[in-house]
Amino acid sequence: MGGWELQTQKLRTQNWLSYGFAGRSNHPTWLEIAVQCTFGGTMQVIEGHLDAQGLQFALVVSRFNEALTSRLESGAVDCLIRHGAEDGKITIVRVPGAWEIPMVAARLAGDGGFDAVICVGALVRGGTAHFDLLAAEVAKEYSSTLLLFLGLSRIS
């Protein structure tokens, strides 16, 4: 047996997730890679390249809680430039608050003029349920936007 089959066989004999491996092709899933690494198999590392050269970025930043978001904005721009992005290829769009970020991000992503849309906002927990409600709805809209542009339907 090759290295991969040996690892999946080891899982079967220990009765670990054996149903997940039946009838699989030779291409492991994320779960299988993680489990394989646990048993000392040859580790496979999948990661992106941190190279922003030639890419067009949109940065959507909330103006509310500006003491925090202005620093986050500066950090995001600095990170992009350190990884090769050009000043002229970074567009910053400021919106009133976190509530507006997903709507503007969806519009920018839908226009197709950007390789990535980065969203920056800050919610500060207070003594009311406002934080919880806002955080939940904004997160839901981010997820919906992502699923839309990945071509997946939203599960409700």
134 within domain boundaries: yes
66 and 34 together in one domain: no
CA–CA distance, 117 with 58 (Å, rounded to integer): 5
Domain count across the chain: 2
For residue 39, what pLDDT is reported?
54
62 and 33 together in one domain: no
CA–CA distance, 99 with 122 (Å, rounded to integer): 11
50 within domain boundaries: no
Which amino acids are annotated catalytic? 130
CA–CA distance, 46 with 28 (Å, rounded to integer): 12
Tell me which residue range forms the domain holding 100: 57-150
Model confidence pTM above 0.75: no
33 and 61 together in one domain: no
CA–CA distance, 69 with 73 (Å, rounded to integer): 6
31 and 107 together in one domain: no
Helices assigned H by DSSP within the chain: 3-13, 30-38, 66-82, 101-111, 130-150
* Least confident stretch, 14-23, 46-55, 75-84: 14-23
51 within domain boundaries: no
Tell me the mean pLDDT in the region 97-116. Answer: 90
